[in-house]
Chains A and B, each alone.
Chain A
Amino acid sequence: MPRSRMQRLLGIGGTLIVLAILSFLLLPVLVVTMAAFNDKALLSFPPQSLSLRWFINAVAYQDFRTGFQNGLVVAPWSASIALVVGAAFALAIDRYRFRFKRLLEGALISPLFVPHFTVGLGFLMLAVQVTLVNTYVVVIVCHVVLVLPFVLRSVYVSLRNFDRRLELAAASLGAPPQRVLITVTLPLLLPGLVSGWLFAAILSFNEFTASLFVTGQRTQTLPVAMYNYVREYADPSMAALSVMYIVGIAILLTIANAFLGLGKVLNVEHDR
């Protein structure tokens, strides 16, 4: 039948397109990964001989170590502050009606549209005014602003999916508000809160453009350190670092998914 042949052709074509898209998505990762194992001191592709020495070099390089440690300070702090602030705003937007609500929503997600270098430059100028240049404070504040829209979104979505009748049911069973919060609301919002925090932390850890402005020698984060490195050297250390970066985040997300997958199961109940 002509129709079934047509369908088969479409099926094969579709599969090829999907494969092409996937390979384009993964191609950069593949190229960088292969370059990381190159023995030569050149960022070239394909590698001629294999070695792990650039991994050792990357781990040993002091600026990378400092950058990584700074990231471990900045990311959790900015994610945590953004989570508290974002959750409060998400709650206000979800549950209360007030004037300028739209305006507030717009302001909160504006960092999505404002270029990161604008935010970075702005905070740098402010930091000069209050003599906070080269401190963690300015980096963290800047990152909080940048990741806030994502946290807000994540918490807001889980609040929307939350069936408020569960709170009413708990109240009808004699639970005062704070007990309702601890035994019903928070446990059911937890997956959304955790995923929001995690997303914010990863974004903060990866943030480069604004960080370039607001970090100093002492507070530079890993992406800034990497940028400074490639300006001077062109060896595969960068590629090796990228591979470690990707593997690290993949592990983190796998763990998180085990947790959040459980969260999705919990939320099934609200879909009716």
Chain B
Amino acid sequence: MIADLEPQAENTTAENGETITVCFEHVSKRFNAVVALSDVSLAIRRGEFMTLLGPSGCGKTTLLNLVAGFFSPDDGRILIGRQLVNDLPTYKREIGMMFQNYALFPHMTVMSNIAYGLKTRHLPTREIARRVADVLALVKLVGLEDRKPRQLSGGQQQRVALARALVINPKVLLLDEPFSALDKHLRASMQMELRDIQRKLGVTTIFVTHDQSEALSLSDRIAVMSEGCIRQVGRPDDIYTNPCERFVASFVGDANVLRGRLVSMNRTQATVALGAVQILVQSEPLLGIAISAPVDVFIRPEQLRFTEANEPCASKGTIVSQVYQGGHVDLYVECKDSPRSRLLVRLSEPRASICWAIGAQVGIALNTNEAIAFPIV
């Protein structure tokens, strides 16, 4: 998967360097014996909202800290704009960073916190005042200038942190899991607001999160990471519908795994039998698998439905649990022939929870004739 990325990264830097803001070329980083990043290449375009998504310990925060310059890579090159920044100290990098705990200066007022980066740049007082006023209006904090951070709510502290990072017009905005400390409702509204502000300013943004739904809803592109490597880079819909490997398919979004059998395969497509139905999958992940060997088919919960009478079905089972979610109903089905014992079927019909009761015997069919399959593990 790294091989896929390389030509893209190198072409873009060579041909139109202007459109790339941050570029990693074969970057590796170890902490003593632990490999945090191995041979990572990634190009982030100007104005793009790029999310680094992965479970904890996958190296996403290390990658972010390398852009910030909190430490240097062991191997490879990091460029901001056209400048090689491998050994450039943080304070010369012109970045804006928002920390998970916001890291607001507790001994300074909101005003002084936001003005800090402007004062270090020795701007005239009048300009500092104007820019602070502008950014306060942007993040809707007007009137709180003289408060200390501890007198603010979590959401307000976050706005101060964002304002402080944005006011210096950074080349890159770095966000390290900024929403993890907020409750669900506040998080949703802050996410919307952050995205609006980011679009309005057009600031290149690198966002680190382990929350796949957050990544899907906010990003222009997502880089899915695990074990120090980038597994896939793409638009959210691309990542969701065309995961290139098992890890991505199971980490991003909910996925059902059904055991199927490879029926036939050509260079681009393969046919897989799932119970009594046949389905088309991309052949690339299955290259080298023998015909009639078992494969795992990954299907999203909204792509499954229950069969009508006498319809051929992909699997059979019993409904074991029902979760009403308002807009949709999640039904869990226990199947005898499925490698994971439970399948999740997501129905958005309003009467689904009444029609399909717990204990009902059901046949499962697919809403699609295309899916993704991977070799069994």
Contacts and interface: CB of A to CB of B under 8 A. Distances in A.
A212 to B, nearest CB: 44
B91 interface: yes
B150 A171 contact: no
B277 to A, nearest CB: 53
Contact of A175 (B93, B116, B165): B116
Contact of B70 (A168, A265, A269): A168
Contact of A176 (B91, B107, B164, B168): B91
B121 interface: yes
Given A165-B99, A172-B97, A175-B91, A184 B105 contact: yes
Contact of A174 (B101, B104, B107, B121): B121
A214 interface: no
Contacts of B107: 187-188, 266
B81 interface: no
A179 to B, nearest CB: 6
14 contacts: A163-B101, A166-B106, A168-B70, A168-B97, A169-B164, A172-B95, A172-B174, A173-B117, A173-B168, A175-B120, A176-B89, A187-B107, A268-B106, A269-B104
A194 to B, nearest CB: 14
A265 B149 CA distance: 12
B94 interface: yes
Interface residues of A, number: 25
B35 interface: no
Interface string B69-103: 11000000000000000000111111111010101
Interface in A147-171: 163, 165-166, 168-171
B295 interface: no
Interface size class of B (residues with CB under 8 A): 20 to 34
A188 B106 CA distance: 8
A181 to B, nearest CB: 12
Interface string B167-206: 0100000100000000000000000000000000000000
Given A266-B107, A269-B149, 15 more contacts: A165-B101, A166-B103, A168-B68, A168-B99, A169-B99, A171-B69, A171-B91, A172-B165, A172-B174, A173-B120, A173-B164, A174-B92, A176-B89, A266-B106, A269-B106
Interface of B: 68-70, 89-97, 99, 101, 103-107, 116-117, 120-121, 149-150, 164-165, 168, 174
A172 B106 contact: no
A137 B253 CA distance: 72
Q: Which of B89, B96, B97, B120 has the most CB of A within 10 A?
A: B120
A270 interface: yes
A187 B108 CA distance: 10
A224 B99 CA distance: 55
Interface in A167-205: 168-177, 179, 183-184, 187-188
